[in-house]
Amino acid sequence: MGRVVFIGAGPGEADLITVRGRQRLAQADVVLFDALTDPALREAAPQAQWLDVGKRGFGHATGQGAINALLVEQALAHGCVVRLKGGDPSVFGRLEEEIASLLAHGIAFEVVPGVTAALAAAAHTARPLTRRGSGRSVSLTTAMTHLGQLHATRSADTEVFYMAGQQLPELAARLLEAGWPAEAPASVVSRAGWPDAQATTHRLADLAQAAAVHAGRPAVVTVGAGAASVVPARTTNTPEFPESPSPAATDD
């Protein structure tokens, strides 16, 4: 019986994986990989057998039950099995179900954390998710529930919605209903962590405008304190100019 290593591959290019993650990947006999992991990571484990168990939202995908069973099957047959997940395994990565399957069969495992898409989006736009005095809490949520229903609330200073690209108009409407002001800053980043990442900034009332730019691309939506641009610090030599409003300006 072998062991399983859950590795967060990061949200985009191969070099966003951690050093530990790449080291563990190099030891793999078998790799079960997600759809959004960079194919370049295969170079880190050329000797391994790579098995595609990818998912794409709520569309056609490898069923979770089948993934759980395959993970156990491979761990019983090989010394080191890597479960390579996009982003961080603990953030919307169905890690709980897979760990439970291993525990039920007495299979040892390790979890190596990774960079999640919310952090890559914040880095790409240079908009910190937390802000001193105005952004003390951050909520990470999926725009759609497992039942296919859109759920949006006002539960933190900064709200980050994953897999939200196809629901931007409805998401904006729900957030306004939940008490967010129409002028609240909003940021949309699609393909965060990749060279072709795109970012747009908006007022919440205008968030629907982003749909055309980000259509068909995995998108992260940030609303609230963490979506606001950074204001230049005032100095004695440089006058402070207010930022001109730009409801749908493109950052890239």
Instruction: Quick: pLDDT tens for 141-173.
Output: 998 877 777 888 899 999 999 988 888 999 999
Question: Does the annotation mark 29 as catalytic?
Answer: no
Q: Where are the domains of the chain?
A: 3-112, 117-227
Task: Exactly one of 15, 38, 52, 55 is catalytic; name it.
Answer: 55
- Residue 35 CB-density burial (10 A; 0-12 exposed, 13-18 middle, 19+ buried): middle
Task: Give 243's DSSP letter.
Answer: P
Q: What is the pLDDT of residue 237?
A: 57
Which pairing describes strands 30-33 and 198-203: parallel, antiparallel, or unpaired?
A: unpaired
Candidates 34, 38, 88, 157; catalytic one = 34
User: Is 55 designated active site?
Assistant: yes
Gap between the Cα atoms of 165 and 11, Å rounded: 16
Q: What H or E segment, with its residue span, contains residue 187? A: strand 185-190
Angle at 30 between CA 27 and CA 32, to 5 degrees: 115
Q: What backbone phi and psi angles, to 5 degrees, belong to 212?
A: -70, -35
Q: What is the pLDDT along the chain (252 residues), one digit of tens a residue?
A: 899 999 999 999 999 999 999 999 999 999 999 988 999 999 999 999 999 998 655 454 678 999 999 999 999 999 999 999 999 999 999 999 999 999 999 999 999 999 999 999 999 999 999 999 899 999 999 988 777 778 888 999 999 999 888 889 999 999 999 999 999 999 999 999 999 999 999 999 999 999 999 999 999 999 999 999 998 887 655 444 344 344 444 444
Q: Does domain 3-112 have CATH number 3.40.1010.10?
A: yes
What is the CATH architecture of 117-227?
2-Layer Sandwich (3.30)
DSSP assigned state of 233:
P
Give the predicted TM-score (pTM) of the model.
Answer: 0.85
